[in-house]
Chains A and B, each alone.
Chain A
Amino acid sequence: MRMRGDRKPQVALRGHSDAGLQPERTSLAWGRTIVSLFVASAILLRWTPHFGLWIVPTVSVLWIGAIAVLLTQKRRYRRSVAGLASEAMTASTGAIFALTAVVLGVGVMSILVVAFAG
């Protein structure tokens, strides 16, 4: 997958001259968020003995969110490089709202599981 995408990003990568390394820092911040999503799902798996199948939707939402962020990392990096090069960048509204929906959904489902299935 990485090999296939290598040809195109090169063009965008060459244009990156931001001394503050903003695209890298933002990409790493998303990367840390992926780890946090997986950590939360790993701790959720501790609920299996108590709550059984109740945790499946919550774990699934976390995994879908984490994998979606992981698969769009390269695209997001190229986008910020291009945004810096042209000094204009559209906000990542979709990604930000989607991630909020994931965390909100996990929070609400966890509260329901503890309150009613516990």
Chain B
Amino acid sequence: MSADDEKDDVGRSDERGWLTRTVLPGGTEPDPRFTLANERTFLAWTRTALAFLAGGIALAALPLPDMPDEIKHVLAIVLLLIGTLLAVGAAVRWLRVERAMRHARPLPLPLIVPIMAVVASAACVGTCLYLLM
């Protein structure tokens, strides 16, 4: 543990661990505040993913007499799928932002924004149809 701390405290690019060197090659260490902010954004998305997973699990687990089992299962799988994709997307986004910051490039556009807009719109339309039927 103390050896790890010494290595981390220095923070020079040539002393980074194997994994970090592989996925974040080249460039220079950005401002530590940006590194930490990127980490917190990743964590916020991960919690969003976990919330989707918890929602999907709850839907599949709790008894809902008014909802047919097939629909319940499909909805649960959709929620679980969204949660899983968000978890992967959070890591990809973190990596892209970290790479951009290391090379002082502009930050990549968030791909998740159009996706979330489509998902939210689809949910609204779905709810409207459900209420009308």
Contacts and interface: CB of A to CB of B under 8 A. Distances in A.
Contacts of A43: 54, 57-58, 61
Interface residues of B, number: 53
Given A89-B29, A96-B91, A110-B57, A29 B43 contact: yes
B61 A87 contact: no
Contact of B43 (A30, A80, A97): A30
Interface of A: 18, 20, 22-23, 25-26, 29-30, 32-33, 36-37, 39-40, 43-44, 46-47, 50, 75, 78-80, 82-84, 86-94, 96-97, 99-100, 103-104, 106-108, 110-111, 114-115, 118
A118 B72 CA distance: 11
Contacts of B35: 83, 89, 91
Q: Which of B39, B43, B57, B94 counts the most A-chain CB atoms under 10 A from its CB?
A: B57
Contacts of A18: 33
A71 to B, nearest CB: 11
A106 B53 contact: yes
Nearest to A100: B91
B20 A93 contact: yes
B77 A115 contact: yes
Q: What 9 A-B pairs have minimum CB-CB distances, sorted nearest first? A: A107-B84, A89-B32, A103-B87, A46-B61, A88-B11, A100-B91, A83-B32, A93-B20, A36-B50
